[in-house]
Chains A and B, each alone.
Chain A
């Protein structure tokens, strides 16, 4: 009987004898005031020097062993406390069910003749942690800036480039957040960031700026249906405020000014005789139906910067830290 007890104790001691730690090379343990998705605390390899097994919890065991074979010990672990450190800890920011309000400032990147600037506002709502829907509005009118190319190119090459003015835009978006990470600044401060892709549909309210026959032509704004696709990122300053950067490409058919000027000068809408002195209304430069030329597929690539505000400001984690 005594020998059996010694055998059991010996087994317990062997259990507690720690194997060499095979910790992952890049094992990290970072306290960031909130944890992160990828924050890891890996104790792979069967425990460390302090005894990674259960013996430490069961108390010290005698080191003496007997040669008598022993029965396999079955230890009930249900009474042991839950581990306090999770392999994947809490995300710093939860998005699920929260709204995101983002004032933005945008600038076009790919039009060398007119730079479109815009103030915008975007409201989003996250259906899950990674999927969201949203709507955005941009105001452009009065903020466009024509470049010097509009002066040099016509002068040098007699080439008039039709340009357009934007008044406003409104869009619906779907968002997906595939990338989430954290960065340290000089290994001192840690902040979290994410990257999202976005796509949707909306419209731009645009009109041509008359450059071919500006004395006569004036244009009204019109709706251009636009698909949008882009990529963006957020750098979280707090759990509800983030710096926001986004590249968004609006793709639509733009109506351009006609490069040709109708030959006749008549202002009489009822003049249909093209053989008289003033010509006919159908071919008059005053006839607004001659002012628009071809529609051209246009990419309006915009860079937006802003600040995201998530609300409600606070949220509860499903599991404790």
Chain B
């Protein structure tokens, strides 16, 4: 009897340990023709194995001194329906913000007894020192975790997906050239009434963001994207750092660059090749 009880306990223990862990999957109790059916049948594979080409217009946002508009394009190849790799390039122009306009309209000439300052431009010349974003490129990977569809006003039904991207950004920036007034007097590198030429350079930083693509049919869609490409640059063209942020060195150089997030919004029209998307079973 004792042996039987022990055997029973052992078997019960084995049975208990062999029991499956807590079920994690939702149990869908379906009967009839739906039993065993896939979650999505004949799903359109908008991305997998297809090439996206998206002409874009990009607007920088939250700028202190200068806003930019970049015209460009994105090209990406979708390795899977949820994974792609691609490049972006855009170039364009900028214009002053309200603050920059005020600085431009004031000018050091309006300050009594002064006609030159390393930081404060003469009236109407602020554009010769404000940093400009000339072009922006990015090589990036993209994960598309979300896809689905939505109804607009209950009438129009469209497919969409949501993605995040991460990569490396490369920017062509134009900044105020190195201006050395540490000798406290005008000289070849410290002009008193003219600016040294602006200098261009390439800045590199991470590029990340996310976006939404809405598909009107198999091969055309609308893309809206947020991107941030942080890197350091001197947007104001001013001397901001010397021995410290308080004690300046009267020299405008790479030490006066600050990290900026360089945030932007992009809108584009996506063309997908080949034109016909495959369907799942």
Contact = CB atoms under 8 A, between A and B. Distances in A.
Interface stretch (B34-42, B68-76, B182-190): B34-42
Given A156-B120, A179-B150, A161 B99 contact: yes
Interface in A172-186: 178-186
Contacts of A316: none
Given A149-B64, A187-B40, A159 B102 contact: yes
Contacts of A28: 40-43
A197 B149 CA distance: 19
Nearest to A27: B42
Interface string B115-132: 000011000000000000
B223 to A, nearest CB: 17
A296 B149 CA distance: 42
Contacts of A180: 150-151, 154
Contacts of B14: none
Interface in B207-246: 236, 238-240
Which of A25, A27, A184, A193 is the most central at the interface, judged by chain B CB atoms within 10 Å of its CB? A184
Interface string B145-160: 1111111111001011
Interface of A: 23, 25-31, 33, 37-38, 109-110, 112, 149, 152-153, 155-159, 161, 178-188, 190, 193, 195
B100 to A, nearest CB: 9
Contacts of B160: 181, 183
10 closest cross-chain pairs (CB), A and B: A181-B150, A183-B148, A156-B119, A156-B238, A183-B146, A38-B151, A157-B103, A112-B64, A182-B148, A38-B157
B1 interface: no
Nearest to A50: B33
B82 A26 contact: no
Contacts of A110: 62
A23 B63 CA distance: 52
B57 interface: no
Contacts of A190: 39, 148
Given A26-B44, A156-B119, A156-B120, A181 B37 contact: no
Contact of B236 (A152, A181, A183, A193): A152
15 contacts: A26-B159, A26-B279, A30-B41, A37-B154, A110-B62, A112-B64, A149-B64, A153-B99, A161-B99, A179-B151, A180-B150, A183-B148, A184-B40, A187-B40, A187-B147
Contacts, number: 107
B211 to A, nearest CB: 14
Residue of A33, A109, A156, A195 ringed by the most chain B CB atoms within 10 A: A156
A152 B237 CA distance: 11
A26 B40 CA distance: 10
A183 B81 CA distance: 14
Contacts of B23: none
B28 A33 contact: yes
Nearest to A84: B32
A158 B120 contact: yes
Interface of B: 26, 28, 30, 34, 37, 39-44, 61-64, 81-82, 99, 102-103, 106, 111, 119-120, 145-154, 157, 159-160, 162, 236, 238-240, 279
Contacts of A178: 152-153
Contacts of B82: 186
A111 to B, nearest CB: 9
B149 A38 contact: yes
Contacts of B145: 185-186
Nearest to B238: A156
Contacts of A187: 39-40, 43, 81, 147
B117 to A, nearest CB: 8
A183 B42 contact: no
Contacts of B30: 31
Contacts of A149: 64
Contacts of B162: 183
Contacts of A159: 99, 102-103, 106
Contacts of B61: 109
B111 A158 contact: yes
Nearest to A39: B149
Contact of B146 (A37, A109, A112, A184): A184
B113 to A, nearest CB: 13
B157 A31 contact: no
B105 to A, nearest CB: 10
Contact of A181 (B103, B120, B148, B153): B148
A156 B102 CA distance: 13
A158 B236 CA distance: 13
B106 A157 contact: yes
A181 to B, nearest CB: 3
A158 B30 CA distance: 73
A184 B148 CA distance: 6
A95 to B, nearest CB: 13
A109 B151 contact: no
Contacts of A112: 62-64, 99
Nearest to A180: B151
A139 to B, nearest CB: 24
A31 B34 contact: yes
Nearest to B82: A186
Nearest to A24: B42
